[in-house]
Structure 1
Amino acid sequence: MRALVLNQYGTPMELTEIPTPVAGPGQVLVAVHASGVNPLDTKIRAGKAAHAQRVLPAVLGLDLAGVVRTVGEGVQGFAPGDEVYGLTGGVGDLQGSLAQYAAVDARLLAPKPTSLTMRQAAALPLATITAWEGLIDRAAVTDGDRVLIHGGAGGIGHIAIQIARHHGAQVFATGSPRSLATIQELGATPIDHTTTDVPHYVAQHTGGQGFDIIFDTVGGTTLDASFAAARTYTGHVVSALGWGTHSLAPLSFRGATYSGVFTLLPLLTGNGRTHHGEIMTHATTLADNGALTPRLDPRHYTLETATDAHTAVETGTAQGKIVIDVTDTTDDTDDTDVTG
């Protein structure tokens, strides 16, 4: 099969022929139609993601959407011809989705939403699982919560807005001036982080009480700002980028709590993979009910132009999620962002 192989960090991936994998026990062989590109993919290629534990040479690609070709021993719930999607590889020793076929753990997969194209489905897994683990598993978002999402127009942020709103939360989201319209179209109250400081937006939107849940998708000083914006006693800060050195004093003085999300853990350890599949099944229901739609960059990339796709993510020129077409997706052309 054709696949993009990374032989050395910091170099372009090479399109080459490698053996087609075989579905082992508990696995399904998926014909890959589309592969979503995440900032993490570009960091892995550059050798700047030691936490991903990638072993070279490697096929990258975290997110996958495609069609089941064969099922391995012991697999139930999937059959040849099923359309599926999930966060299936690209880290550790797991083959990624930038190849014509991938043999993946069936527990990581879910039926693809019938309302979404392959390209749209491939844009969802990493972002959706991260947002779900933060908002649902850690913070238990519920009706009436005031939720602040940092980076609301980003890959994780725009999914987090939709999940929080579906669960009845009143959602606010920070962004740069160019992203505020997108945030508003997603149903959140936009906050321009370049002109509004923490005390001001806490006073304006919570009457000075602080937010019930703050989901940080940016990290660094934004996580520090999150600690200062949490509600006293009941506030809960969740971050997908919690590394670095931070003072917990602002959070402690409020008696609030913090949780970290490390979405790759089930891929790296094998523990928790069933829950990833469960989250994607929930996402399928949300998508087919009109409550979850990814924003896609309108440009189409292929295995031949995948390096350009990575460059678009690295340089910040993407207007929505970048997706690489691994096989012919001519039936998936009308799938651009519905929110602008």
Structure 2
Amino acid sequence: MKAISYARYGGPEVLELGEVDDPKVGPDSVLVKVRAAAVNPVDWKCREGYLDQALRAVFPVVPGWDVSGVVVRPGPAVPEFAPGDEVIGYVRADVLSGGTFAEYVAAPVRTLARKPRNLTFEEAAGLPLTGLTAYQVLYRILEVKRGETVLVHAAAGGVGSIAVQLAAHLGARVIGTAGAHNHDFVRGLGGEPVSHGDGLAERVRGLAPEGVDAVFDSVGGDALKVSANLLAPEGRLASITDPEVVGYGGRYWFVRPDPQDLRRLSELAEAGVVSVHVSETFPLERAADAHRLSQEGRTRGKIVVTVTTD
């Protein structure tokens, strides 16, 4: 099959389009014909070797963890899906090997859920990783409640834009950091935008003088330090990028595949609670350009790679 792969760590230039072996479908896996695969920052971080201490790379590596597509064949221990079913998945394994930037992927059934019927394949591909991250942090780690005030960093980004929508759905007041050009976008998601950078603490305190009840950090560094000082007395802090959050009394979280959470996100998307903004799409052969754009770190919503279908 055709796929994007890399035979060594490096920059976007190591990504090559070519033929790789068809994936094998184990008893608990599902062969999915890929229609679209979203790009996430973790993809290029893996490609550059930043996660080498945690994830063993079996070269050549096909990148990509997010997918939307159509079931071709379920494994013999998978009664949940049938050929022709449209699915989404956060197809992460404990090694880097057979990812989603390919014509087909063998996805463990625990990573899949049915695709929201009202989303395009491109939109649906952008939901799994970002949606699961936002859902798990807000519902399980921060346990956001109605009437609370939540500060969401990078509110116009992939994770942040979903987090704003979910927090608003939970009945929270949402303050979201974003560049001035994204303020209207954040308002449309249900948040109150504030500019990031110098003076952030003063701007947030101007909106929430008593402090915020919870902070969802996806930036780290100085933003995390400022956030810790903006918490109300019983406030909670979580970060998905900076383990130093533990030193501030918060929690660090790395998203995990969960079919029940993914199913719930699909339901929320079909109910109109959650939408996915796709900023740009690239054909499979231009995956390197998609990675380059992701590394710039200024994307509104999601970048998606599409796979041509017969």
| TM-score, scaled relative to structure 2 | 0.93
Distance 1:89 1:116 in 2: 22
Over 3 Å counting, the alpha-carbon distance change for 1:313 and 1:202 in structure 2 is closer
- State whether residues 126 and 278 of structure 2, in contact with CA within 8 Å, keep that contact through their aligned partners in structure 1: yes
Distance 1:17 1:188 in 2: 45
Q: Please list, as runs of the form range in 1=range in 2, the aligned pairs for 1:122-271 lying within 5 A after superposition.
A: 122-194=125-197, 196-198=199-201, 200-207=202-209, 209-232=210-233, 234-244=234-244, 248=247, 251=248, 257-263=249-255, 266=256
Cα displacement (A) at 1:91:
6.0
Cα displacement (A) at 1:51:
5.4
Task: Structure 2: state its 5+ residue gaps.
Answer: none
Cα displacement (A) at 1:260:
1.3
Over 3 Å counting, the alpha-carbon distance change for 1:77 and 1:205 in structure 2 is same
SS of equivalent residue, structure 1 residue 235: strand
- Amino acid of the structure 1 residue aligned with 2:16: E
Distance 1:134 1:161 in 2: 12
In the alignment, what sits opposite 1:99?
Answer: 102
SS of equivalent residue, structure 1 residue 173: strand
- State whether residues 60 and 91 of structure 1, in contact with CA within 8 Å, keep that contact through their aligned partners in structure 2: no
- Give deviations 1:120-167, integer Å, cap 9, x for gaps: 000111111111111111111121111110111111100100110111
Does 2:37 align with 1:35?
yes
Distance 1:129 1:242 in 2: 18
- Amino acid of the structure 1 residue aligned with 2:26: G
Over 3 Å counting, the alpha-carbon distance change for 1:13 and 1:306 in structure 2 is same
- State whether residues 194 and 200 of structure 2, in contact with CA within 8 Å, keep that contact through their aligned partners in structure 1: no
In the alignment, what sits opposite 1:312?
Answer: 293
Distance 1:183 1:68 in 2: 35
Over 3 Å counting, the alpha-carbon distance change for 1:242 and 1:176 in structure 2 is same
In the alignment, what sits opposite 1:88?
Answer: 91
Cα displacement (A) at 1:235:
0.5
Cα displacement (A) at 1:205:
2.1
- Amino acid of the structure 2 residue aligned with 1:81: G
Q: How many corresponding residue pairs?
A: 307
Over 3 Å counting, the alpha-carbon distance change for 1:317 and 1:259 in structure 2 is closer
| TM-score, scaled relative to structure 1 | 0.85
Distance 1:301 1:184 in 2: 28
- Amino acid of the structure 2 residue aligned with 1:24: G
Distance 1:181 1:52 in 2: 39
Distance 1:183 1:51 in 2: 36
Residue 303 of structure 2: which of 322, 329, 334 is its match?
A: 322
In the alignment, what sits opposite 1:72?
Answer: 75
Does 2:49 align with 1:47?
yes
Greater strand content: 2
In the alignment, what sits opposite 1:254?
Answer: none
Q: Please give the root-mean-square deviation of Cα atoms over the aligned residues, in Å.
A: 1.9
Distance 2:131 2:261 in 1: 8
Cα displacement (A) at 1:57:
1.8
